[in-house]
Structure 1
Amino acid sequence: MKILFLTHSFGEQGTYWRCLFLGRYLAKKGHKVTVVARGPGKETMISKKWGVETLFFPSWKTQWLRRIPLVLGTDFDLIHVFAAANFCNSLPGLFAMFKGTKVLVDWDDWWTRGGLVQGTPLLPVRTIMEEKLPILASAVTVVSDALKQRALSCGVKEERIFKIENGSNVEDIRVCQKSESRKKIEVENVPILLYIGYWGTDIQFLIHVIRKVRSVIRDARLIVVGHKGISNDVVSFVGHLSYELIQNYLSASDIQCMPMDNDLVGKARWPIKLGDYMASGRPIVGSDVGEVGRILREVDFSLVSEPANPSDMAAKIIRLLRDESWSVELGKKIRRLAETRYSWSLTTNSLEEVYRKVMN
């Protein structure tokens, strides 16, 4: 099949990774996958990774104008719209429907009605796009049970909703020796907590957590990958890193942190980084919210903490740091779960089945 993915994300951010990993394993199955994403420059850029061609179109305001000629002028078997609340995805998707192309909608975040874009311009129109385009689509894919329920409440028939979770990159992310990884990134041999991301509220929460952990384990440190900040003897901000380099930080850590807000957005999410955490074979302590809480409970209830409670998360972390053998065993269980239930290969198998149903 000739498949087009439309995403609002920049390269190496958010939903772009969902598109790229799904495209990677679809390409391995012989499908031709093209991703359209936002580009940082003034000119269109083209890249190819893992057998997937990505077109990076410039200019946020005119994204939809650049994409419509593509969907009208190219004969795709399927077009998958990732986040209908964004006009750069939904408007080309509508034109493709008018043309007669099979269009699917992917829902991996809660955007309107108290979601990510609440209070922004054109909110009523974005709400219509987010809630009505799925009704017109050939099928709807969702990452979480919360988004499935929202799709149902919008009037999408249950037989056209398919849960396609994010996956774990067990092919590239290996379980590596902690000492060797620490040498590569030049960090001290102290207890290390890791957080990957840009969410300011998560980081403020984890600063409270690490201070409570250090009241018991005085040399513990928190490393933040992605978000920029001023480093000190408690928290190190290393900024944006390549995907390949991030793997060294995953392996160098003792505990990986997954705080989640207990709100509509948090309950709807299935963070890409969770899959990467799982693949590295280290214990993960996360908030008992939505899909994150559900997956961590599959491994061990002790890995989930009460939402918005830094003392509870700190207590779970301290227990893991004090019992190394138990920590190692939980890391192995998480890796096995990643391999047997949540690999991108398995996730893509499920998506391919959806495509075949739509085409038939």
Structure 2
Amino acid sequence: MRILFLNHNVENYGTYFRCFHLARGLVRRGHKVTLLCANREDTLSVTKRVDGGLTTVLLPKYRLRGFHTLHSLRMVYNTYYTLFSGYDVLHTFAFPLHPMAVPTLAARYLRPGLKLVLDHDDLWKGGFANQHPGPYQRVVGWFNDNMPRMARQCTAASAMLMDSFRAAGVPEERIHYIPNCPTMARSPLSKAEARAATGLPAGAPVALSMGHTYTESLFMLLDAFERARQAVPGLKLAFLGKMHIPASFEERLKPYLARAGGDIIRLGEKPPSDVPAYLAAADALLLPMDDDPIEKARFPIRFGDYLTSGTPIVSNAVGEIERFLTGHDCGYVAPVSDAAAFGDRIAEALTGQSRREAIQANAARLVETELNWDAVALKLEKIYEKARG
């Protein structure tokens, strides 16, 4: 099959990883995939990259005051591809957004017999769209509620997003669960070797949180860290990623930094090839979450990377992450609003060896049997066959 992926996000960011690894899995099964996304670099040019059966088309993007722009220009490019390129199936990701929705609707009405699949991996209506003006919220809401009935099949990254398709009137047999999976392999380094390679302090207990953006749950995490330090002297907290937070968060962070006395480490962003070593160097991997609809609907990409790392996960989880951690006993879980319990779970992960080993084994088993891109690509292939039937 020839499949066209429409993705709103920037290369190596967010939904791009979902698209890229699904595409790679499909290519391994003999299909050809064209993936449209925004260029990571600021540019007005279009770049095409071919790697076997995967063609990635990097579209113009410009970063202005911290925000990615040129969405409407990319909408025009996307429309060109949906109307004039050759493909058997169109799979549109984040379809309620106008750069995705308009090209998809154009193909729906101008290419008779379109084999359309829509994907939900984030909550837009009633979620991220609320950060935009009211008129745009209504546009997103209309796309969210009306486009699913036009699709041959629908895919979603969480139970909550599957419910969104049901609410839009999609029959149950056309709604399919497609989770996110690890985007990197486990590091071959031992913990001592990983500490040496990354420069993290040898011999000290280290909890690590990976991510570029943080919300209010950052301070739940910091409170949990302070609680855990009472039981685990010398515990260090490392942040891996850009840690892009507003100025108000930086001000609120200062007292925590002062009390930690250098035990909070901001590592910054690292090349993807280096990330597995940092995960292997940690004693616990932290995944803070908020008690809100956006968090309950999403499936953070880093969850899979945490699972495959061999290092235990600790989270005040909600939604899909809570379901996996508790259902498969593959991590330490605290109530979402209880910082003290979160801290106690961190301490437990660092000190309870037998439980730790059982959790590590369960995480590895989950990746091997269910959360891997080859298994998901096989499922997606069957979904496309239904769309074409």
TM-score, normalised relative to structure 1: 0.94
3-state SS, counterpart of residue 118 of structure 1: helix
Preserved CA contact (<8 Å) 1:165 1:347: yes
What is the CA deviation profile of residues 11-61 of structure 1, one whole-angstrom value per residue up to 9, with x for unaligned ones? 111100000000001001111111111123222223345752211111223
Question: What's the CA shift for 1:326?
Answer: 2.9
Which position in structure 2 is the counterpart of 1:273? 302
Identity fraction in percent: 28
- CA shift digits 1:199-232 (9 cap, x unpaired): 2323222111111111221211111112337876
Whether 2:321 is the aligned partner of 1:292: answer: yes
Give yes or no for the alignment of 1:84 onto 2:86. no
Distance 1:250 1:175 in 2: 11
| 1:166 paired residue number | 180
Residue of structure 2 equivalent to 1:5: 5
Deviation at 1:195, TM superposition (A): 1.1
Q: CA deviation at 1:169?
A: 4.2
Query: Would the alpha carbon gap of residues 238 and 302 (structure 1) be closer, same or farther in structure 2, given more than 3 Å must change?
Result: closer
1:23 maps to 23
Amino acid at match of 2:46: T
**Residue 310 of structure 1 aligns to which amino acid in structure 2?**
A
2:367 aligned with 1:338? yes
Match of residue 46 from structure 1: 48
CA distance in 1, matches of 2:356, 2:379: 32
- Distance across 1 between alignment mates of 2:167 and 2:355: 43
User: Separation in 2 of the partners of 1:8 and 1:292?
Assistant: 24
In 2, Cα distance between the equivalents of 1:247 and 1:119? 33
Which of 248, 262, 265 in structure 1 is aligned with 2:291?
Answer: 262
Which structure 1 segments of 5+ residues have no match? none
2:342 is the alignment partner of 1:308: no
Rounded Cα–Cα distance in structure 1 between residues aligned with 2:210 and 2:50: 25
SS at match of 2:231: coil
Partner of 1:116: 128
- Gaps (5+ residues) in structure 2? 61-69, 245-249, 251-256
Deviation at 1:134, TM superposition (A): 1.2
Partner deviation per Cα, 1:140-177 (whole Å, 9 max, x = no partner): 1011111111211121111111111111347x334641
**Does the 8 A contact of 1:282 with 1:332 survive in 2?**
no
Look up the SS of the partner of 1:332 in the other structure: helix
Aligned residues: 358
Which amino acid is the alignment partner of residue 192 of structure 1? V
- Corresponding position of 1:96: 107
- The equivalent of 1:61 in structure 2 is 72
Q: In 1, are the aligned partners of 2:332 and 2:349 still within 8 Å (CA)?
A: no
Contact kept, 8 Å, 1:108 with 1:147, in 2: the verdict is yes
TM-superposed CA distance for 1:281, in Å, is: 1.6
The RMSD of aligned alpha carbons is 1.9
2:117/2:153 contact within 8 Å kept = yes
CA distance in 2, matches of 1:315, 1:50: 48
What per-residue deviation string (whole Å, max 9, x for no partner) do you get for residues 255-284 of structure 1? 111222122111111111101111112111
SS at match of 1:12: coil
CA contact (8 A) 1:83 1:130 kept: no
